Each structure stands twice: as C-alpha cells, then as structure tokens.
C-alpha cells in the first residue's frame, strides 16, 4: 500500500492481558460509586456515602446485568482504569458519572498503554468520562481508551458514548497500535467480533496518533495476511480468517488535531460511519515521512460513509495521501455519499489497494468538495469499479506548501481533477459538476468513462476549461447559488442552470447495500424520474400523478412512488389493452421506460407501447415485448428503450399483453441511459515527433486536452534539432501557441521555433523562442509563442534547438492554440 505507516524506530508498549476477578456477591442491578476525595476502598461502594476511592478498587469489579459503576463528577483519578464484565440484552452494564459538575477525569499520566482498558465485554456502555494520557516522554505510543477483546467469540451491544479523550501523546506519527480511542481484537483460536458496536458523540483531540481506529487479527483474506507487525507486535501467525464485526456504527463524533488519521474502521461488514466531523488530522506530526487520511477504511465489506465533514487534513507531498476520504486495501462495495470535504491538502477522495488485496466497487456520490488541494478524485493501484457520480467539486488555484523537515517539502498547486494511478480500472465519472478555477487536467486512460459532466472554470489554450473525454460534456457556468461559500448549500444550482435535467440515470444495482435509499441527493431530495440534475444537489420535483383504465383504480400511486417494494395489482382477469398514464409537474427528459414487477413470469406486462402527449395528441414513441425470468418476490426490471430521447410531461404506457392474471406492476420509471464505454473521438488532431519517445509515454499526450499528462523522450541520446508536428485535420484560426511543461527547469525545451502550414509549404512564424521556465517541481508551467498576426492553418511545426537535460530527457505536457 502507499506510504501511510512508518515502519522504523517504533517502540511499542506490550499489550496488557486482562485479568479476571470474582464477582462480588450482590443483587443484580447494583450501583457502585467511586469518590476520589472522600471514598474508602474498604467500604461497600454501593452508596454515595460508602463510595470507593481508587481506580485499582474499581478495576477489581466485574460488572453484571444492570450494574452501574459511577465516578463522581468534577474529580480526577490518576493511573489506569480496567473495566470488565458483561450485562445482558436489555440490561447493559454501565460506567458513567454521578453528581453535578464536569465529567470525571481518568488521567493515565503517560505511564500506561491506555488510561481506560475495556476487556472482553458485551451488553456494556461507557458514557460521560474524560480521559487523558500525557507524558513528556515521547518515546512510546499511547492510547486514551482501548476497547479490547481476545478469543471471546461474539460480543454484542457495546456502546462508547459522550467521552472526551484528549492529550494522549506519543511519537507523533500514526501507529495503528495507538489512538485516542483504540478498538482492538486479538487471538486466533475463537473467532471474535463485535456485533452492534456503537461509538457516538465523543470528542477526541490532541492525539499523537489516530483519533479512532478499529482492527482485528481476524482479518486474513486475499492478500491481507499481516496486521502491521512492526507497529502492533502481532506476528503474522496470529492473523487468521476474516471474521468481521457487524452492526458497527461510528457517528456524531468530533475528532480534531491528531497526528494520524481521524477515523479508521477495519475488518467490518455493513458498518456505517456518519455525521462525524474530522478537522486537522495528520497535523502536528513529529514523524517527517509518510502521511494519512481524514477518514479511511481497510478490509471492510459494504461500508457506508455518509454525512461527514472532513477538513484541513495535512499533506506530505505526492504519494503520502492527505485526502479527506480513502477507500484503502481490501474493501468491497464501499458507499461514500452526502459528505462535505474542504481544505484537505492532499485532495478529496482516493481509492487505493495493492494487487493481492484489491478494493472493488466503490461508489462516491452526492458529495461536495470545496477548496481541497492537489487532486480531486483519484483511483490507484489495482482498484476496480470506482464510480464518481453526482459530486460537486469547487477547485481553486491555492498552492499547498509542505515545509522542511518533512520529506515532501515543496509547493504543490492543484494538479489533477480526476487522476488514475498505475492500473486503476473500470472507473466511471458521471453527472458531476467541476468548477475548475485551477485549470487542472483530467486523466484520459485505462478505459475511464466520462459521461454527462459539467466543466467550468479556468480556460486552457483553446479558450475552454479542460474536460475529460466526455460523451456529452456541458461546458458552461453552472450558476451556483454562492460558489466559494463555506456553506454546502452555496453549491446548489439556481433556476436556469445548465446543470438542471442534464444527467443520465445511474443504475441502482451499483448500490449493493440494498437497504439504503440510493435515490436522494446531498440535501435528502429524492431523485426524480428522467434526467437528473448534475452535481450534488437535485431540485425538488414531485412524483407523477397516475391514472389508468385498468381496474382496480386504488393504489395506482404505487406505480410512481419511487419504491420498488410497493406494487399495484389488477383484478384476476384484466381487460387488455389498458393504459397507465403518468403526469409529471415538470417536463421530463428520457429515453427508457422501465417496468418493474415481482412474480413477473406469471403477472407482468409482456407487450407494451410508450406514448407521449405533445400538447394536442398522443404520439407513439416505441414498443417492446418483455421477457421475464422469475416468479417469486424478486423484483425484476425491464426497460423499453425508445429510438430517441424525448421530453414530455405526460407519458402513457399501453399494456397490450400480460403473462396472466392478475397483472402486477411495482414501478414505472423514466430514465436516460448512461454510456458504458470510453468516448472515442473520430480522427482529428494528430501529433508526431522526430524525437525518440519513452516507452511509458505517448506523443498523443501532447494533444489529449490534459496538461497533466506528459510526453517524454528517452533519457539517453537526445540530440538537436528535433521536431513536433501537430495536424488538426482541418484549418483553424491560430494567434498563439502555448507549451505546457512540469519540472521545466530540468526537462523543458529552451529554444524553439514555430512554423505553420499554408497548404504547400511551411511558413516561419517565430524563430528561437526561449521560454523563461521558473520551476523544478510538479507545477505545470506555460510559455506562449504569439504569432505576428493570426493565421488559418491545418498544421503547426515546433523545431526544438535546445532543452534542459538534467535527467537526460526532455518532456512536454501539452501543445495548445488560441
């Protein structure tokens, strides 16, 4: 994986084994009190006047069903608190506080691995403590609270709530063995996992590692055979068959000012990470290498990351993360939606894995990114099936600076809106709004599909903002409510925006979680039939009114209620043909009419015609025979595809035949088909060169519309002069030619002449233009050659007389004209 974890020089405290003590003889549901000032460890502990005094005494208690262990508010204890025992379903054990005043404080003083250790518990709640674990010694990693289990089987109904965890210092990096709140599962003899684990409403800050992290030795699958042994001290032999925790919910937490990642769940199935705020993760680090991410996850299935705000994540240069969100190695079917990302120095989102443990089927939808740095949406090594849908990215030209002594020291402008690293495959980019004030590029490789996105912002050499190779790009001002605003609502399109009704239908099959509503926008507005709006916000459009000649007339509204589970059913022997008419409050653009039905093989429509009303008459748009496969509760969907896209507010389905009686229809929905293949433009601009090209770069990069993708020569044997010729296929007006190059002081051309073709010969336009390159960095610079007067020409020729050869090669990223 990428450089997230530092491996060298980590001194870890040995993980402490829990110890058992006999339960006190008592009635079920007993309350125990601890008073640091007036308590007495020899007292009964069962009333405020007979309270215990010390953490050591409290740690001997094994809580049972309905028991409560309460610490007096406003007081402080030093040392380690061990919590153990178990409640019962409906009668959890509780650890909390009593009396008036601030939360009771458990202070580990940096002398213990974790100030609060909760060992092998179930039906157990910890609520309302303040925890710290600070020492001037920074040689070891420490945790505030450690929820720990080892070879304990299924542990249900654990809640960690309303905790304030702060001032937990250590080596100032990001060891997975330390956090403000560490949830760790060990062992390899009894499959162990949490079920219905809730971590909510906690504030975690000033941590010398992670904010919240969860992991398990029950994590071996695919190529995940190790659990960071240098950091955790866990040998690979202890890492055994993937057994995920289930029903995990991490919500409404505030994590800020941590040197590692903010929130990192690992080894779960069906976890929900929602409504958390993470600020200033990967900040204040003393480790000078590596990096981390605001919220990232590894080794999970069907995780949902939604309604979170992540901001100001630190960055240590390319390859060190720094993003708001990251679906890391060995994840399947992540759903990332309704999040707000801003000022994260490494970017908004990254999907990354390694070959033996790929991350698959990640959906990133209806999120808002504002002023994130370096890159927007990225997919990296061995990831497959990454889908970027209906996001709004507002990108500025701010430069992220990494200062020494960090290994990535340098200045980094925003480089790429959509970036593909290495062999990332099956990436789709649909229905997004890109406000690109940095003029950054879009990767067009690895079969990436761009479809119906809106592009706006800083123009390139052709007077247009960069775009992906899009099937139907919208290049226009999206007319947002308040672009640049700190309020996500400022990125809602105004009436008249070209983003309205300009999208394609997204296949709900992408949302494998099933129980989630895949049909809402960032603000919770339902996605209507037909073409959706572009970006994270959808204007509200009421469902269609439904009328029919079929009987009964009741429950017809179910045919357009956007719920596949509800159905309308006719009388046992319906009279056919019959009609179903849908009337929409706003005209809808569509090309498919999809009929959904359960028990379809015996009840569904088998032949139908689609008509629309043009204001005077019904017009036939197409018909189809439908073939169904199942005869059970499975809801099948069959599209009727029309010959062309139409726009109408009244749509009629004529049911000509059905499988039998009664007729059943679950839903009738309009849609716009999405493109399934990369856009492949016909023959147009062609670039060629006399220089020998590097095997890993192609000369097509010079004219692909992406200033971030380079052409490079071989690194040995470059000689001058050499030529580049760009053939546009037909005449175009040209007043200037602009060269784009990064690392220009090391590999940029330094002496170049420009000729244009007049139909029979080359005509000189500029001799010995010498670019004044300024940078030796990843920043793409430009140098413009202005013609004496504009000409109309089909071809241009650049003759390179000299160049910087610091590494033996020359490079050129793009040639544009204006």
Q: What confidence category does residue 779 fall into, taking pLDDT thresholds of 50, 70 and 90?
A: confident
Q: Is the pLDDT of residue 122 over 80?
A: yes
DSSP-based three-state secondary structure for 198:
strand
Hey, which residues does 726 pair with through a beta bridge?
Answer: 687, 796
Does the pLDDT value for residue 710 go beyond 90? no
Is residue 91 predicted with pLDDT exceeding 80? yes
Residue 745 has φ and ψ, to the nearest 5°, of -70, -10
503: Cα within 13 Å, side-chain hemisphere: 26
Tens digits of per-residue pLDDT, 448-458? 999 999 999 99
pLDDT for the residue numbered 24: 43
Confidence of residue 461 (pLDDT cuts 50, 70, 90): low
Residue 109 pLDDT > 70? yes
Burial of residue 736 (number of CB atoms within 10 Å: 0-12, 13-18, 19+): middle
Helix (H) or strand (E) holding 55: helix 55-58
Residue 46: is its pLDDT beyond 50? yes
Burial class of residue 146, CB neighbours in 10 A (0-12, 13-18, 19+): buried
Answer whether 360's CB lies under 8 Å from 379's CB. no
**pLDDT confidence of 509, banded at 50, 70, 90?**
low
Closest CA to 653 of 629, 672, 626: 626
What's this model's pTM, rounded to 2 decimal places?
0.84
More confident residue, 746 or 144: 144
Beta strands 309-311 and 340-342, pairing class? parallel
Mean pLDDT, the chain, whole residue set: 92
pLDDT of residue 683: 57
Using pLDDT thresholds of 50, 70 and 90, give the confidence band for residue 508.
low
What is the arithmetic mean of pLDDT over 771-785? 88
Residue 2 has pLDDT above 50, yes or no: no
Q: How far is CA 751 from CA 638, 702, 720, 722, in A?
A: 62, 18, 10, 11
Alpha helices in 403-485 (DSSP H): none
What is the C-alpha to C-alpha distance for residues 34 and 573, in angstroms, rounded to an integer? 74
**Which residues partner with 184 through β-bridges?**
148, 215
**Residue 281, phi then psi, degrees to nearest 5:** -75, 160
- Measured CA to CA, the distance from residue 438 to residue 435 in angstroms comes to 9
Rounded mean pLDDT, 478-486: 97
pLDDT at 13 over 50: no
Confidence (pLDDT) at 516: 42
What is the 8-class DSSP label of residue 29? T
pLDDT of residue 14: 35
pLDDT digits 0-9 by tens, 574-612 = 999 999 999 999 999 999 999 999 999 999 999 999 999
The 3-state secondary structure of 518-560, one letter per residue? CCECCCCCECCCCCCCCCCCCCCCCCCEEEECCCCCCCHHHHH
pLDDT band (50, 70, 90) for residue 8: very low
**Does pLDDT of 53 surpass 90?**
yes
Rg (CA), the chain: 31
Residue 264: pLDDT band (50, 70, 90) is very high
Segment 245-261 mean pLDDT: 98
d(CA 291, CA 283): 10
DSSP state of 644: E
pLDDT at residue 495 is higher than 90: yes
Sign (positive/negative) of CA torsion 287, 290, 296, 299? negative
- At residue 22, does pLDDT exceed 50? no
Own/partner pairs for 32-40, CB < 8 Å, 24+ apart? 32/58, 32/61, 32/67, 32/68, 32/69, 32/70, 33/70, 33/72, 33/98, 34/58, 34/69, 34/70, 34/71, 34/72, 34/77, 35/72, 35/75, 36/71, 36/72, 36/75, 36/76, 36/77, 37/72, 37/75
What does DSSP say about strands 249-251 and 272-274: parallel, antiparallel, or unpaired?
A: parallel
Please say if the pLDDT value at position 512 is more than 60: no
Collapsed DSSP state (helix, strand, coil) of residue 557: helix
Task: Give residue 138's pLDDT.
Answer: 86
Cα separation, 142 vs 164, in Å, equals 16
pLDDT at 139: 86
What confidence category does residue 733 fall into, taking pLDDT thresholds of 50, 70 and 90? confident
Distance between CA 803 and CA 411 in Å, rounded? 24
Please name the helix (run of DSSP H) or strand (run of DSSP E) that holds residue 744, with its range, or none: helix 744-747
Q: What's residue 6's pLDDT?
A: 34
Average pLDDT score over residue span 211-225: 95
Report the DSSP beta bridge partners of residue 764: 755
Q: Which two tokens stand for residue 314?
A: 């630190």
**Distance, CA of 314 to CA of 258 (rounded, Å):** 10
* pLDDT of res. 80: 98
Alpha carbon 84 to chain centroid, angstroms = 37
Strands 249-251 and 254-258: unpaired
What's the pLDDT score for residue 426? 96
Instruction: Report the 3 state secondary structure along 87-135.
Output: CECCECEEEEEECCCCCCEEECCCCCCEEEEEECCCCEEEECCEEEECC
Give the pLDDT confidence score for residue 518 in this predicted structure. Answer: 55
What percent of the chain stands above pLDDT 70? 94
9 pLDDT above the threshold of 50: no
> Can you tell me which residue has the tokens 């300009």?
502
Q: Looking at the predicted structure, is the pLDDT value of residue 766 above 90?
A: yes
H-helix or E-strand spanning residue 363: strand 360-365
Q: Residue 26 has what pLDDT? A: 58
Res. 390: pLDDT tops 60 = yes
pLDDT at residue 460, as a whole number: 75
DSSP for 470-497 reads BSS-EES---BSSTT-SSGGGGSBPTT-
Q: CA-to-CA distance for 603 and 606, rounded, in angstroms?
A: 9
What percent of the chain is modeled with pLDDT above 90? 82
d(CA 146, CA 126): 12
- Residues 378/403, Cβ–Cβ less than 8 Å: no
Span 792-810, pLDDT tens digits: 999 999 999 999 998 899 9
Cα–Cα distance for residue pair 290/583, rounded to 1 Å: 57
Is a pLDDT exceeding 80 seen at residue 552?
Answer: yes
pLDDT average, residue stretch 251-276: 98
Q: How confident is the model at residue 728 (pLDDT cuts 50, 70, 90)?
A: confident
Is residue 378 a contact partner of residue 350, using CB atoms and an 8 Å limit? yes
Give the span between the Cα atoms of 113 and 179, in whole angstroms. 10
Determine the pLDDT at residue 20.
36
| Unique residue bearing structure tokens 């499975």 | 634
> Is the predicted pLDDT of residue 50 greater than 80, yes or no?
yes
Average pLDDT over residues 66-83: 98
Cα(674)–Cα(680) distance, integer angstroms: 15
Burial class (CB in 10 A: 0-12, 13-18, 19+), 717: exposed
Give exposure, 231-263, as e/b (b: 16+ Cβ within 10 Å).
bbebeeebbbebbbbbbbbbbbbbbbbbbbbbb
Q: Is residue 777 scored above 50 in pLDDT?
A: yes
CB contact at 8 A, 551 and 571: yes
Band of residue 27 on the pLDDT scale cut at 50, 70, 90? low
């Amino acid at each position: 994986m990428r450089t997230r974890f530092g491996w060298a020089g980590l001194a870890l405290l040995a993980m402490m084994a829990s110890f058992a003590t006999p339960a006190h003889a008592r009635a079920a549901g007993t309350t125990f009190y601890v008073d640091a000032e007036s308590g007495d460890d020899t007292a009964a502990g069962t009333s405020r006047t007979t309270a215990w005094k010390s953490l050591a005494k409290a740690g001997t208690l094994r809580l049972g069903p309905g028991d409560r262990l309460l610490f007096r508010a406003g007081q402080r204890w030093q040392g380690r608190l061990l919590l153990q025992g178990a409640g019962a379903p409906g009668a959890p054990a509780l650890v909390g506080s009593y009396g008036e005043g601030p939360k009771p404080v458990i202070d580990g003083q940096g002398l213990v691995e974790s100030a609060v250790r909760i060992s092998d518990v179930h039906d157990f709640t910890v609520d309302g403590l303040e925890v710290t674990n600070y020492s001037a010694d920074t040689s070891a990693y420490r945790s505030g609270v450690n929820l720990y289990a080892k070879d304990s089987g299924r542990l249900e109904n654990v809640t960690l709530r309303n905790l304030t965890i702060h001032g937990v210092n250590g080596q100032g990096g990001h060891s997975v063995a330390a956090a403000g709140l560490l949830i760790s599962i060990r062992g390899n003899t009894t499959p162990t996992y949490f079920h219905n684990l809730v971590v909510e409403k906690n504030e975690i800050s000033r941590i010398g590692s992670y904010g919240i992290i969860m992991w398990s030795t029950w994590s071996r699958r695919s190529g995940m055979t190790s659990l960071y042994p240098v950091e955790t001290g866990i040998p690979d032999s202890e890492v055994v068959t993937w057994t995920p925790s289930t029903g995990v919910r991490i919500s409404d937490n505030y994590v800020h000012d941590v040197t590692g990642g903010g929130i990192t769940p690992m080894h779960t199935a069906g976890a929900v990470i929602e409504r958390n705020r993470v600020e200033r993760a990967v900040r204040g680090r003393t480790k000078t290498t590596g990096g981390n991410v605001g919220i990232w996850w590894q080794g999970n299935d069907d995780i949902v990351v939604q309604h979170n705000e992540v901001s100001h994540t630190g960055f240590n240069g390319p390859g060190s993360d720094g993003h708001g969100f990251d679906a890391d190695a060995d994840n399947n079917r992540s759903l990332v939606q309704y999040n707000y990302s801003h000022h994260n120095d490494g970017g908004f989102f990254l999907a990354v894995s390694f070959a033996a443990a790929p991350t698959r089927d990640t959906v990133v939808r209806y999120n808002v990114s504002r002023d994130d740095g370096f890159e927007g949406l990225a997919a990296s090594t061995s990831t497959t099936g990454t889908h970027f849908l209906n996001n709004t990215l507002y990108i500025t030209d701010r430069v992220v600076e990494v200062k020494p002594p960090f290994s990535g020291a340098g200045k980094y402008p925003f480089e790429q809106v959509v970036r593909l690293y290495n062999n990332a495959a099956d990436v789709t980019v649909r229905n997004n709004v890109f406000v690109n004030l940095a003029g950054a590029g879009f990767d067009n490789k690895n079969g990436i599909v761009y479809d119906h996105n809106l592009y706006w912002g800083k123009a390139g050499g052709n007077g247009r903002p960069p775009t992906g190779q899009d099937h139907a790009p919208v290049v226009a001002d999206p007319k947002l409510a308040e672009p640049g605003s700190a309020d996500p609502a400022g990125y809602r399109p105004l009436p008249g925006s070209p983003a309205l009704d300009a999208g394609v239908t997204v296949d709900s099959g992408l949302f494998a979680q099933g129980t989630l509503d895949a049909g809402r926008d960032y603000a919770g507005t339902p996605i209507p039939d037909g073409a959706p709006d572009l970006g994270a916000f959808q204007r509200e459009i009421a469902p269609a009114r439904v009328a029919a000649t079929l009987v009964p007339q009741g429950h017809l509204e179910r045919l357009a209620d956007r719920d596949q589970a509800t159905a309308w059913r006719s009388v046992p022997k319906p009279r056919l043909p019959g009609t179903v008419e849908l009337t929409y409050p706003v005209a809808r653009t569509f090309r498919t009419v999809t009929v959904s039905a359960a028990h379809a093989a015996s009840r569904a429509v088998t032949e139908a015609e689609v008509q629309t009303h043009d204001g005077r008459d019904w017009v036939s748009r197409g018909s189809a025979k439908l073939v169904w496969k199942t005869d059970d509760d499975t809801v099948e969907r069959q599209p009727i595809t029309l010959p062309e896209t139409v726009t109408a507010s009244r749509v009629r389905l004529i049911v000509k035949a059905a499988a039998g009686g009664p007729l059943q229809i679950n839903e009738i929905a309009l849609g716009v088909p999405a493109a399934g293949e990369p856009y492949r433009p016909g023959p147009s601009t062609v670039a060629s060169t006399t220089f020998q090209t590097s095997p890993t770069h192609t000369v097509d990069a010079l004219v692909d519309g992406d200033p971030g993708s380079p052409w490079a020569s071989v690194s040995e044997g470059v000689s001058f002069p050499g030529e580049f010729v760009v053939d546009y296929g037909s005449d175009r007006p040209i007043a200037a030619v602009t060269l784009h190059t990064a690392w220009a002081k090391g590999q940029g051309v330094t002496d170049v002449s420009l000729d244009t073709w007049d139909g029979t010969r080359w005509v000189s336009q500029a001799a010995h233009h010498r670019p004044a390159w300024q940078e030796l960095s990843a920043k793409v610079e430009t140098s413009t050659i202005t013609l004496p007067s504009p000409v109309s020409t089909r071809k241009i020729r650049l003759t390179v007389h000299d160049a910087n050869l610091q590494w033996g090669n020359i490079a050129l990223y793009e040639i544009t004209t204006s």
